[in-house]
């Protein structure tokens, strides 16, 4: 649709329709994670056989699954260790 070609009434009607469509989507209460490259739990579970030293519980802290690489600023416990070793301030 060429919005620049529409008059004000047509634009208002288009806006009403888009708002209705938006509300229909919102009512579905979807929880979408659009971040890039985060594998699903099933994919992460594929490597469990290689982790014969660690259990699944060893790889999860609170809500963070450390088998994933989606932690933006690093693993909090690892940062604490290195802050102490390097004498850096947290």
16 and 45 in a common domain: no
What per-residue confidence (pLDDT) applies to 15? 96
The list of the chain residues with pLDDT below 70 reads 70
Question: What's the confidence (pLDDT) of residue 28?
Answer: 94
Query: Is the domain of 52 the same as that of 74?
Result: yes
Asked if residues 47 and 67 have their Cβ atoms less than 8 Å apart, the reply is yes
Write down the pLDDT at residue 56.
78
Same domain, 47 and 79: yes
| 54 and 79 assigned to the same domain | yes
Q: Please return the burial class of 55, using the count of CB atoms within 10 Å of its CB with bins 0-12, 13-18 and 19+.
A: exposed
Domain range spanning residue 14? 1-32
Give yes or no: residues 45 and 69 share one domain. yes
* Residue 47 and residue 23 in one domain: no
pLDDT of 70: 65
State how many domains the chain has. 2
Summarised one tens digit per residue, pLDDT across range 62-74 is: 778 888 776 778 8
Q: Are 51 and 82 members of one domain? A: yes
Tell whether 23 and 57 lie within a shared domain.
Answer: no
Alpha carbon distance 72, 84 (integer Å): 21
| pLDDT value at residue 7 | 95
């Amino acid at each position: 649709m060429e919005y620049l070609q529409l008059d004000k009434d047509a634009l208002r009607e288009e806006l009403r329709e888009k708002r209705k469509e938006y509300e229909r989507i919102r009512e579905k209460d979807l929880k979408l994670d659009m971040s890039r490259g985060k594998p699903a739990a099933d994919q992460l579970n594929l490597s469990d056989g290689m982790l014969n030293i660690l259990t699944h519980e060893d790889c999860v802290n609170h809500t963070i699954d450390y088998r994933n690489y989606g932690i933006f600023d690093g693993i909090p416990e690892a940062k604490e260790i290195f802050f102490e070793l390097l004498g850096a301030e947290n």
